[in-house]
Structure 1
Amino acid sequence: MDENGTLRLLSYYLNFFPKRRLPRPHSPIEQKVELKEKERKVTKVRAADCLKLKVEKSVSPGQLIVVKVIKTEECDINENQLKVKWTQPSGRISITNVEEDENGEYFTMEKCSRPGFCRLDVSAYGETLRQSPMNVEIVKEGLVKSFPVIDTRVTDIVVHDDCLLVSCERNKILKFKQSGEVNHIITMAPLPQGAKVNGMYKMKNGNIAFSDKGNKCIKVCKINGQIETIGQGLLKDPRGIYVNETSNVVYVADSVHHWYGTSGCVYMFSMCNTNGQAIKPIGQGILKDPVGIQVNETSNVVYVADSGSFVYMFDIGNGKIHQINPNSRVCDIALTDKGNLFVFGHTEIKLFNNEGKLIKEIKLETEYMQSPLAVVDEDDNIVVAGFQGYPNCLKIFSSNGNLLKTITFEDNYFFAAIPKALCIISYHPRKIAVGLQYNITKMGSSIKIIHY
């Protein structure tokens, strides 16, 4: 083919096929916008996959529900693009904002006051998270379970491995599942003959310390099966017990009958030394019949309830002693995380600050507390039992002394029962165990598990 033929063929192909425009180079600004758009699309796709939800399965009415949004891999998430919708049992819908805490984790909170299920819908950049929706149960307050403790008199209850350990002034500790099924004797260690387990203290490492009224000492059951004895030969009637696990010090209220010419005191023992020697006695010559003990580990102050009419504050650091006079018989004390002290008498409850000054007085005009018991929960609320004629009643107070609610539960023999043990089982939901001791001997005792 000659040169003219080649040109004609090239002209034919150029006219036959449509002309294509070459892409115009993007400006720097356009390139930056396009890159951000691509990143946003990638983040949007990954957000729903790289986020997980952490929330309690059940809570009590009015209890704060905290939802944590956790990043499982590195991705750029803006909390403003996280949306949380709550559908409450009543059908009311609310939207809450997601916030970022000091650790860089995202969270949101809400409350539900009506029992039922609260639905939680969470999305990121408009995409629903894999775990969403989730349901949080709002449990109904009141009696959950009741079971008897035959031919025994309950003295204390602690929680261990999701079971209830129950003492009854015998040489054994009963172990119950929360369903009420007895799990026989505690398997941690066999207890010696003559032992009478009274008050117990559950430590964070799983060990159980308890006062042995039979052998007049403190025993520590370790999870490895060993039993250590503390204070034998020195203690006369050990009752109240508190363990400072940071300093490995055991505080024991030794309640000697003062009408026999002797007085009681609080002994400090080192858990590292089992030779029976006390580190030091507290309140010797001052205390008459100490029955309750609380320790503020931060300020190193020991609070002791004398069964007379006084509460004493012993400063371990400087040796100072402060006397609180509630002007009524003292039955029990409870210490809040804020350092405030509740003092329970038969006809009134008084609240004192950490300096022993009266903050509030609660008169019980129509009720009488025969044997008041109190515990403090993680929200600094005070749960009180022991109202005469109303042992099937719990009263919950805030840390500043305001009555929050009253919980009642059924009991066929409530007229003959006295609350002897009180133990918080869980916080989500709020659940507590009450040990009732019946005056009718053949009936023994019973355990009530209650949502409050």
Structure 2
Amino acid sequence: MASISTMMNKPQETGTLKSHKTTINTVRDEVLRNDFDKSFYKKNITPTFIPSTHLDEVMNTECIGKITTVDGMYKVDQHDEAITITKGQLFAVTVSSLSESDASKLSATLSNPSHEESATEVEYQGNGEYKITSRCNVEGDWQMKIIAGEAHIKGSPVNIKVESLGLVHTTGNISDYKEHMKENKVTDVMLDKDGCILVSSRSKDILKFNQSGSFVSRIQVPQDVKVFKMHLMSDGHMVYSDDLEKCVVMCDDKYQKTISFGKGILKEPWGLTVNKTTGVLYVADGKAHCVFKFSIDDGRLLGKIGSEGSEVGQMNKPIDVTLTKEGHMIIADFANNRIQMFHANEKFLRIIVGFSKEDGKVWGPCGVTMDMDENIIVSSNHKLQLFDKNGVFIKRIDHEDDGLNVPIGTVISNRSRRVAVANNRANNVKIFNY
């Protein structure tokens, strides 16, 4: 209260401080409403501090060093206090401040136990938020120490685990975890809201694995369906293509059906995605050789993109579709061995990846998705590749001896650059860092 009274002469902070004062008074009054001796609680009490030397001894013994913090002024975002990234990946740590200040007051150092260091950049974003960006080119455990002046801020040091590139985990045979239609092989993977990988395989069984490839649980859809491809919506609902009824189903978080799309229209619904801004559902149909559009609200057919053929803008067994941030469609044109891009208004734009068995091209593209950097991940017959949003080849994610055989679905983790692939012929899921 004394600190607040002292600062009340700053007009720009008066409103905030008055709010704090009101809150403090409300809490105090609530406490004093108890049946305890009110006169005791209203007395000025001088606390007695008993210093602890044990903590200092432990810190010095363990070579941690003393840490002082800038109390309350700056703090690391709680989701960034311990993070996992991939070797060489550019990443950002978010720091918030109680006041609008210059970014030069913050500095950060990134190092590992071998005393290797990596450069960091602190950038003020406005509204009391800072982004500290860096990358680590050596695997292992790193720490980012963030200071204001000479003192650590709250949440510093940030613990960072740097993982290797390439194949990191492989699940067991998917059939071993199923109860229904064990003969049907894996067809798609999707990241759920808890960070686990959901796996479909043309049955009512949806399998859940963690990102280390360990089996977690089996989910059984209440309806008789053959779940082919899946898409999780921002509101927690899921849409999936049903290979039994030849339609798309929307279900709630208990997998109960709420609405279906395209019965009698769709012939072979495969890949699908939803534009959360416009509320449009896109479905790639391998037998109708086009991509259908439906209203996610009421199931109305809104139109279709493409027709059967091999000319530009035509399709032959399109198997998957994804969207750019601008709403442009990127379509895996399977039998034409190419990736095509269409404008949000349905006009053909260009072929962004053409045919070849060499790296940088595609042969039988089965899955296409965008990562957080707007790069495109394409799974084709025997490889997994990374392109920028214009189709410029960046690198091959897998190695030839990783055992990919008709990979179909892909999924991206939220923090590290991680992709999971439904490895159809081998009937397992492979997880890569890239």
TM-score normalized with structure 2 length = 0.68
> Shift in Å at residue 94 of structure 1?
5.5
Please list every run of 5 or more consecutive structure 1 residues that lacks an aligned counterpart in the other structure: 1-44, 257-262, 327-341, 350-361, 439-443
What is the rounded CA distance, in whole Å, between the counterparts of 2:339 and 2:170 in structure 1? 35
> Shift in Å at residue 288 of structure 1?
5.7
- 2:296 is matched with 271
- 1:428 is matched with 415
What is the rounded CA distance, in whole Å, between the counterparts of 1:396 and 1:377 in structure 2? 10
What is the rounded CA distance, in whole Å, between the counterparts of 2:119 and 2:324 in structure 1? 41
> Shift in Å at residue 99 of structure 1?
3.2
Q: Is the 8 A contact 2:267 2:285 kept in 1?
A: yes
What is the rounded CA distance, in whole Å, between the counterparts of 1:281 and 1:135 in structure 2? 49
Q: Which has the larger radius of gyration?
A: 1
What is the rounded CA distance, in whole Å, between the counterparts of 1:117 and 1:171 in structure 2? 41
Q: Deviations over 1:14-34 (max 9, x none)?
A: xxxxxxxxxxxxxxxxxxxxx
- 1:347 is matched with 357
Q: Is the 8 A contact 1:346 1:372 kept in 2?
A: no
Q: Deviations over 1:283-341 (max 9, x none)?
A: 45775634145465776655555534777766675x7x4475x6xxxxxxxxxxxxxxx
Larger CA deviation: 208-217 vs 170-179:
170-179
- 1:82 is matched with 106
> Shift in Å at residue 217 of structure 1?
0.9
> Shift in Å at residue 87 of structure 1?
1.9
Q: Is the 8 A contact 2:272 2:320 kept in 1?
A: yes
Whether 1:381 aligns to 2:402 is: no
- 1:229 is matched with 260
**Within-5 A mapping of 1:8-157:** 47-54=70-77, 55=80, 57-71=83-97, 73=98, 78-88=102-112, 91-93=115-117, 96=120, 98-148=122-172, 149-150=174-175, 151=182, 152-157=184-189
Give the superposed CA RMSD. 3.5
> Shift in Å at residue 248 of structure 1?
2.2
Q: Deviations over 1:121-167 (max 9, x none)?
A: 22222223354333312112233322221244111111113222111
User: 293, 306, 318: which is aligned to 1:291?
Assistant: 318
User: 384, 394, 406: which is aligned to 1:403?
Assistant: 394
What is the rounded CA distance, in whole Å, between the counterparts of 1:399 and 1:313 in structure 2? 10
Q: Is the 8 A contact 2:286 2:319 kept in 1?
A: no
- 1:250 is matched with 281
Residue identity opposite 2:94 in structure 1: K
What is the rounded CA distance, in whole Å, between the counterparts of 1:385 and 1:313 in structure 2? 16
Residue identity opposite 1:164 in structure 2: I
Q: Is the 8 A contact 1:48 1:123 kept in 2?
A: no
SS of the counterpart of 1:175? Answer: strand
Q: Is the 8 A contact 1:398 1:404 kept in 2?
A: no
Q: Is the 8 A contact 1:48 1:128 kept in 2?
A: no
Q: Is the 8 A contact 2:69 2:151 kept in 1?
A: no
Q: Deviations over 1:184-211 (max 9, x none)?
A: 4425x4122xx22212122111211111
Q: Is the 8 A contact 1:154 1:421 kept in 2?
A: no
What is the rounded CA distance, in whole Å, between the counterparts of 1:57 and 1:199 in structure 2? 30
Whether 1:240 aligns to 2:271 is: yes
Q: Deviations over 1:74-133 (max 9, x none)?
A: 5x8553333322224652346646332232323322221111122222222222335433
TM-score normalized with structure 1 length = 0.66
- 1:217 is matched with 247
What is the rounded CA distance, in whole Å, between the counterparts of 1:430 and 1:103 in structure 2? 28
Q: Is the 8 A contact 2:331 2:368 kept in 1?
A: no
What is the rounded CA distance, in whole Å, between the counterparts of 2:109 and 2:339 in structure 1? 50
SS of the counterpart of 1:80? Answer: helix
Please list every run of 5 or more consecutive structure 2 residues that lacks an aligned counterpart in the other structure: 1-67, 176-181
Residue identity opposite 2:222 in structure 1: P
Is the alpha carbon distance of 1:178 and 1:254 closer, same or farther for their aligned partners in structure 2, counting shifts above 3 Å?
Answer: same
User: 200, 213, 226: which is aligned to 1:167?
Assistant: 200
Residue identity opposite 2:377 in structure 1: V
What is the rounded CA distance, in whole Å, between the counterparts of 2:244 and 2:114 in structure 1? 55
- 2:32 is matched with none
Q: Deviations over 1:43-98 (max 9, x none)?
A: xx983443212335121111123233322x45x85533333222246523466463
Is the alpha carbon distance of 1:231 and 1:88 closer, same or farther for their aligned partners in structure 2, counting shifts above 3 Å?
Answer: same
Percent of pairs with identical residues: 28
Is the alpha carbon distance of 1:431 and 1:46 closer, same or farther for their aligned partners in structure 2, counting shifts above 3 Å?
Answer: closer
SS of the counterpart of 1:101? Answer: strand
